[in-house]
Amino acid sequence: LTSLFPLQLDFWLAPRRLGRPVDIRVPFRSLQAVKAHLEASGVSYSIMIEDVQALLDEEQTEMLRSSRQRSVDTATFNYEAYHTIDEIYNFMDMLVAENPNLVSKLEIGRSTENRPLYVLKFSTGGTNRPAIWIDTGIHSREWVTQASGVWFAKKIVQDHANNEGVASILETMDIFLEIVTNPDGFVYTHTTNRMWRKTRSKHAGAICVGVDPNRNWDAGFGDAGASGNSCSETYHGPYPNSEPEVKSIVDFVKSHGNIKAFVSIHSYSQLLLYPYGYTTTPAPDDKELNEVSAKAVAALSSLYGTQFEYGSIITTIYRASGSTVDWTYNQGIKYSFTFELRDTGRYGFLLPAKQIVPTAQETWLALKVIMEHARDNMY
Amino acid sequence: RAMELPPGHFSAARAAAAAVGYLRYLRGGPGCGLRLRELRRARRQDIDDVGHKYYLDLELEDVLDKDRTVSCTAEVLYHLGSKTSAPDVQLTVQGELRSTEEADKEFYNRMRSLEKELVAENIPDSHGNVPPELEPIHLLAWVASGYVIWQNSTENTKFHLAQVKHVQQVKRNDEDLQFDFVLLLHEMVSQ
């Protein structure tokens, strides 16, 4: 048997001497030939493992599962994988515990299904300093965004510890980061429908569940560029801020009163966008926003060559009413931007986990351009 | 009479998506997955009583051969007022696409040697994984979705293949391979 090379037999216990057993792994397509040979030679055999591949698959699953076991600190947390909401919320607590002088966790409200809406605050002190807001995961299926948010949080802490990067920004400004902006939707993408986008609210008279949280803001609410049909992915909801996920941010922004830059992060399409989406009238600061975008996109591209387009929402992607940054801009937050991260459609929402860190790294360079511009052009 | 469009303008991107769908239908296969790398130039012409015609300069790559790019010009004509007819697409590929004869043959032989008809679902999975042996099936789904996307494209749509929900190989008595796909398409404009 050993000399019959085409059979590709793999001896796990090689022939030693007469009377001693031999263990062989037999490839599927050689099974018949081997059985026939053994029977013809009067050699008795028994099957120890029916399907080696099945065992390997099981082991693989088990390994993956155990590598997902809760890490005990943010140093061993796996930034190169997608995580559940519990793992992300646990990460936040660990980050705060490890850096109590820099990071705190705020609960700004509760979702429709009563999940806490958490915002991480990064501050080196002062009182109500001018601030930068970043949110990820407002559309739950855009998994690379929540994953990038986790990476950003760790990056801010690292920069501060090493006195580089955003450490200088933190001297005069605070950073607010909401990582899981739509927790109900996020859980739903894990448990039931990976492609879920909206919130999980059910309003009176609505046939379907969920409101598009990026059409629910009070800027051109209900105009062309959103749907009045609850079954639509762009359903704007019964009225502005009907969604607690949106209202909580509105309340936070209004009561804070000193936010200078607001960035809402989505995927996919590789775009950097600024207001407006609900009207073709250019924003008064269109020229400056365009220049900042050009700089930010160049910085992003410098790392891995990833190409981004940029421009106003309505000219670059589509008309959209009731969107986040149109509202924040109209509140007076001049540096209001929306990102659409990787990719351009090859994987779309299902971006391979190994692209999480490169995506976060390049996006961070663009975010720094925006943050530095806000700091250097205080208004 | 053709108006220059900034390559970042949404109407150019939508026309490019329709052109790429058509191209995948024509030239894609289990060993060839064509992807738009860059939209170099876009022009638009409004033709009275006919419709809107887009002239595009595209830079493409085969995802299995990323070091090489291929240039392509496309003309996409959306017919006036027509909700039901597909845009007319004319494509000219400059230069040669890499030959996939060997890869196609290998795929064909591998499928023919399977004991049972192939069945698979969720390609890619939630985490973006595609097992290497299913990548040719994934690329075949691009071909199939390319046709559907082209047929359903308008100036107000931008389709991408989001996921292969299910694929079932169909048993046949001849030597052809047949696969039934259930595909999830993402339409960007209406989401």
Give chain A's domain count: 2
Take residue B75 and report the two structure tokens written for it: 């003309």
User: Which domains does chain B possess?
Assistant: 2-187 (3.10.450.10)
- Which H or E run contains B69? strand B65-79
Question: Is A1 part of a structural domain of the chain?
Answer: no
**Residues 142-161 of chain B whose Cβ lies under 8 A from any Cβ of chain A:** 160-161
Of the candidates A106, A88, A116, A111, which has an alpha carbon nearest to the alpha carbon of residue A211? A111
Instruction: State mean pLDDT over B103-122.
Output: 94
CB contact under 8 A, A353 and B128: yes
Residue from A309, A340, A354, A356 whose CB has the most chain B CBs within 10 Å, to mutate: A309
Query: CA separation (Å) from A1 to A12, A50, B172?
Result: 14, 20, 36
CB contact at 8 A, B85 and B58: no
* Neighboring chain A residues of B131 at a CB cutoff of 8 Å: none
Cα–Cα distance between A222 and A238 in angstroms, integer?
A: 9
CB contact under 8 A, B191 and A212: yes
Tokens 């009225």 correspond to A239
Long-range contact set of residues A79-84: C-beta below 8 Å, sequence gap at least 24: A79/A147, A79/A150, A79/A151, A79/A154, A79/A356, A79/A357, A79/A360, A80/A353, A80/A354, A80/A356, A80/A357, A81/A353, A81/A356, A81/B127, A82/A143, A82/A147, A82/A353, A82/A356, A82/B126, A82/B127, A83/A146, A83/A147, A83/A150, A84/A190
Q: Closest residue of B to A226, CA-based? A: B190
pLDDT tens across the length of chain A (379 residues):
777 777 788 878 777 777 777 888 888 888 888 888 888 888 888 887 888 887 777 777 766 665 566 788 999 999 999 999 999 999 999 999 999 999 999 999 999 999 999 999 999 999 999 999 999 999 999 999 999 999 999 999 999 999 999 999 999 999 999 999 999 999 999 999 999 999 999 999 999 999 999 999 999 999 999 999 999 999 999 999 999 999 999 999 999 999 999 999 999 999 999 999 999 999 999 999 999 999 999 999 999 999 999 999 999 999 999 999 999 999 999 999 999 999 999 999 999 999 999 999 999 999 999 999 999 999 9
Same domain, yes or no: A40 and A64: no
Question: Is A89 part of a structural domain of the chain?
Answer: yes
Cα–Cα distance between B28 and B32 in angstroms, integer?
A: 5
Question: Is A2 part of a structural domain of the chain?
Answer: no
Query: Would you state the pLDDT for residue B46?
Result: 94
B51-62, strands of its sheet edge to edge: B3-5, B34-47, B51-62, B65-79, B88-94
Same domain, yes or no: A147 and A237: yes
Question: Is A369 part of a structural domain of the chain?
Answer: yes
The question of whether A50 is a catalytic residue gets the answer no
Same domain, yes or no: A25 and A95: no
Average pLDDT, chain B: 93
Cα–Cα distance between B183 and B162 in angstroms, integer?
A: 8
Question: Is A124 part of a structural domain of the chain?
Answer: yes
Q: Closest residue of B to A317, CA-based? A: B10
Take residue A156 and report the two structure tokens written for it: 């801010």
Query: Would you state the pLDDT for residue A334?
Result: 98
CB contact at 8 A, B61 and B69: yes
Query: Would you state the pLDDT for residue A208?
Result: 97
Same domain, yes or no: A154 and A277: yes
Q: Closest residue of B to A311, CA-based? A: B8
Same domain, yes or no: A147 and A291: yes
Query: Would you state the pLDDT for residue B31?
Result: 93
The sign of the torsion formed by the CA atoms of B104, B106, B107, B109 equals positive
B35 Cβ under 8 Å from any chain A Cβ: yes
Residue ranges in chain A assigned as alpha helix (H): 31-40, 52-67, 85-98, 143-162, 169-172, 183-191, 244-256, 286-304, 313-316, 324-330, 356-376
Question: Is A338 part of a structural domain of the chain?
Answer: yes
Q: What are phi and psi of A126, to 5 degrees?
A: 75, 180
B172 Cβ under 8 Å from any chain A Cβ: no
Same domain, yes or no: A99 and A27: no
Of the candidates A119, A144, A353, A169, which has an alpha carbon nearest to the alpha carbon of residue A265? A144
CB contact at 8 A, A11 and A24: yes
DSSP label at A221? Answer: T
* Neighboring chain B residues of A274 at a CB cutoff of 8 Å: none
Residue A276: strand, helix, or coil: coil
The domain that holds A232 is classified in CATH as: 3.40.630.10
Cα–Cα distance between A54 and A229 in angstroms, integer?
A: 46
Of the candidates A236, A213, A186, A248, which has an alpha carbon nearest to the alpha carbon of residue A325? A213
| Radius of gyration of chain B measured on its C-alpha atoms | 18
* Neighboring chain A residues of B6 at a CB cutoff of 8 Å: 311, 315
Domain that holds residue A70: 54-377
Same domain, yes or no: A20 and A109: no
Question: Is A20 part of a structural domain of the chain?
Answer: yes
Same domain, yes or no: A24 and A145: no
Question: Is A138 part of a structural domain of the chain?
Answer: yes
Of the candidates A311, A317, A320, which has an alpha carbon nearest to the alpha carbon of residue A278? A320
Residue from B129, B160, B161, B187 whose CB has the most chain A CBs within 10 Å, to mutate: B160
B182 Cβ under 8 Å from any chain A Cβ: no
Same domain, yes or no: A154 and A26: no
Same domain, yes or no: A153 and A278: yes
Distance from CA of A67 to the nearest CA of B (A): 15
Q: Which amino acid is at A139?
A: H
Same domain, yes or no: A344 and A272: yes
Same domain, yes or no: A93 and A219: yes
CB contact under 8 A, A350 and B38: no
Query: Would you state the pLDDT for residue B97?
Result: 82
CB contact under 8 A, A350 and B160: no
> What does the pLDDT look like over B127-185, one tens digit per residue?
999 999 999 999 999 999 999 999 999 999 999 999 999 999 999 999 999 999 999 99
CB contact under 8 A, B127 and A350: yes
Interface ipTM: 0.90
